[in-house]
Structure 1
Amino acid sequence: MSRIATIALIVAIGVAAVAFVYFDQEPAQSSSTAPQSVTSKQQEGYTFERLDNPARTVVRNGTAVAATMTDGARTVVITGASRTFGEPKATKAEVTTDAWVRLAPQPWRQGDEQASWFQPWLTKALRDTSPDILAVAMEYIDGAAAQKNAEGVRFRGDAAFGPVAATGAGRLERSDFYDYLGVPWEFEDGTRTKPDSKHYGAVDCSGFVRLVYGYRHDFPLLGTNTPGPGLPRRAYAMAEFGPGVTPIPNTGRRSTTFETLQAGDLVFFEVEGGADELDHAGIYLGVDSDGRHRFMSSRERVNGPTLGDVGGTSLLDDGGMYSRGFRAARRI
């Protein structure tokens, strides 16, 4: 990537000085190990391999991994230019990754490399340098620059967690993506809702996931916590019967399995205690500069999205509050 293109891309992402993304000049090759291949075949210069746990197709260009598609999921990890994500105000650790997380137009099925949609989509995705899932998530961190669309709706910029209001029976009313936007919304299941002005500019943990994946990347969203063709509202519902597959299923105990995770996976936690329910959701970023598995989520104590360590480390494997509560992951 040229110096001019790199600067233009950083400006397009609009990350503030308190949170940053910087790029290496050349795409990095994936060095991660993979389970044993079960099949492979050639097509137009690419090798397509079938791997297990979870079932997926890996596209190789020579020995380098170009893309990974998981059966039943729309998220695709593309190997591109190496980037470093950081939030200096909240942690000294950084995540450097060559993984770019994109959404395919439909869930992957074995053999879809032969489908008419795939080759044009892959060619475009491999060249795409627009903000992906991870870069878009960074657009809501503390201090991130605001931007409005043609309708005057602020669609990105520093997000708060929002006020937490009790609604009776132990239930809490928190902030969804439409509260952040300040617009009414009709969901895939026909549910209609209006934003609460007290929650404008705010998203809770699952609202943050829905803002990044749903509003910004057009992944279908539900207005309820029932099974359906989209992401439910609450963390427990996303984990239990959301779309996609579960590289880490919920066994009710702390998970110490990390090798099946990939960037962009949704990770779920039980952090409140006593409820025996998954009550927190985040987006997995990858291994950080300290060799730890780091995620990003919106939290009450730091008042918004963060990949930092204020109010609890954003780690799956350090023995901290979120690490102890880590239960499951889903690839949508």
Structure 2
Amino acid sequence: MSKTSTAVRAGALLGVIGVAAAAFVYFDQEPSASAPAAQQAAAAPVQRTADYTFERLDDPARTIVRDSQSVVATMTDGARTVVLSGPSRTFREPKATKAEVTTTAWVRLAPQAWREGEESAGWFRPWLAKALSDTTPDVLAVAMEYVDGAADEKNAEGVRFRGDAAFGPVAATGTGRLERSDFYDYLGVPWSFVDGTRTTPDSKHYGAVDCSGFVRLVYGYRMEYPLLGTNTRGPGLPRRAYAMAEFGPGVTPVPNTGRRVTAYDSLQPGDLLFFEVEGGADELDHAGIYLGVDSDGRHRFMSSRERVNGPTLGDVGGTSLLDDGGMYSRGFRAARRI
């Protein structure tokens, strides 16, 4: 591992934080005041040279890629999520908040978990070049395709794979647990998981996803990250929030100590966030996706919630903020980078 000076290390960190100043997708056109930012306009990719330098940083261990101008990408050891620098865009949900998130951060999945020295592997340079020129929806843009008012779209098989999602009905089962909606309920299709389990959708939950189901819809179904059908350790993302946080794949830039988290600078866009919000549960019961810093300078996330009836970055039924002292801010306990 190469050592960096304090100045270089600080500069690289500021670059990463700058990349993390997030938002939703509008490039060079203004939407109507009431329209959700659920479509992504065409954008020219940022021009890059192929002369890169690679720096190693700690806590968590990661590789920073620079060109002659700025930070190009950040890869974290043990994680597949990569934050790339790309065209600026703005994420907004006018019905739910006046705040917006404007960002040059694009979050994509590398074909394998990062390791120190992986920049010398044969797959990396071609993948990086393609990823930097790719302006199709990334993790953040895909997440916005399920907010209130988002347009529906079906695939060739007639399955609605994106569009305004509900939270779904909540009902107690015979075991006392709450029955909620996973991604396959939203889709209305049966699903076979990498752990060998298979499940069928509940028609009552069609078009709906709960908080962890939303994470699985975005990262699993849309971005093709492996998914588990259970809440166990394995080669994929478990079903429930507590299991994702406790023994999900990837790394923990913010571990769960049982206390409120305030280490916001340890986060980067696309990180999974975990909360303890149901009074007396003493369990991580809510999950979301970190977007970055909004137009008010606050750390904003996105999740699916019962009160607003679906995915939102807004402030209905509790502000979508980590640093304002609100319900989710007080309950913020951990983060995972998958």
TM-score (norm: length of structure 1): 0.89
Partner secondary structure for residue 72 of structure 2: strand
2:108 is aligned to: 102
| CA drift at 1:170 | 2.7
1:229-268 deviations in whole A, cap 9, x for unaligned?
A: 0000000000000000001000001011101100000000
| CA drift at 1:169 | 3.7
Instruction: Kindly provide the amino acid, as one letter, of the partner of residue 291 in structure 1.
Output: G
Is 1:238 the equivalent of 2:244?
yes
Any unmatched runs of 5+ in structure 2?
1-24
- Correspondence 1:54-65 to 2 at 5 A: 54-65=60-71
Distance 2:182 2:311 in 1: 13
Whether the 8 Å contact between 1:21 and 1:86 is mirrored in structure 2 is no
Distance 2:336 2:27 in 1: 33
- Correspondence 1:271-282 to 2 at 5 A: 271-282=277-288
Is 1:322 the equivalent of 2:328?
yes
| CA drift at 1:22 | 7.1
Residues 49 and 306 of structure 1, relative CA distance in 2, 3 Å threshold: same
Is 1:50 the equivalent of 2:68?
no
Is 1:251 the equivalent of 2:257?
yes
Residues 316 and 94 of structure 1, relative CA distance in 2, 3 Å threshold: same
Residues 22 and 215 of structure 1, relative CA distance in 2, 3 Å threshold: closer
| CA drift at 1:19 | 3.3
Distance 2:315 2:296 in 1: 13
Any unmatched runs of 5+ in structure 1?
1-5, 11-15, 30-42
2:119 to 102, 113, 120: 113
Distance 1:25 1:196 in 2: 39
Distance 2:178 2:288 in 1: 19
Is 1:129 the equivalent of 2:147?
no
1:18 to 36, 40, 44: 36
Distance 1:93 1:46 in 2: 35
Distance 1:138 1:236 in 2: 24
Partner secondary structure for residue 265 of structure 2: coil
Alignment length (residue pairs): 309
Whether the 8 Å contact between 2:168 and 2:205 is mirrored in structure 1 is yes
1:151 to 157, 160, 173: 157
Whether the 8 Å contact between 1:24 and 1:82 is mirrored in structure 2 is no
2:7 is aligned to: none
Whether the 8 Å contact between 1:28 and 1:82 is mirrored in structure 2 is no
Whether the 8 Å contact between 2:26 and 2:41 is mirrored in structure 1 is no
Considering fraction of residues, name the structure with more strand: 1
Q: CA RMSD in A?
A: 2.2
| CA drift at 1:45 | 0.7
Whether the 8 Å contact between 2:26 and 2:40 is mirrored in structure 1 is no
2:9 is aligned to: none
Residues 9 and 123 of structure 1, relative CA distance in 2, 3 Å threshold: farther
TM-score (norm: length of structure 2): 0.88
Is 1:183 the equivalent of 2:189?
yes
- Correspondence 1:257-268 to 2 at 5 A: 257-268=263-274
Partner secondary structure for residue 259 of structure 1: helix
| CA drift at 1:17 | 1.9
Q: Which segment drifts farther, 173-182 or 162-171?
A: 162-171
1:289-315 deviations in whole A, cap 9, x for unaligned?
A: 000000000000000000000000000
1:142-167 deviations in whole A, cap 9, x for unaligned?
A: 00000000000000000000000100
Instruction: Kindly provide the amino acid, as one letter, of the partner of residue 117 in structure 2.
Output: G
Whether the 8 Å contact between 2:43 and 2:135 is mirrored in structure 1 is no
Q: Which segment drifts farther, 16-25 or 87-96?
A: 16-25
| CA drift at 1:62 | 1.5
1:27-66 deviations in whole A, cap 9, x for unaligned?
A: 789xxxxxxxxxxxxx951000001111000100014000
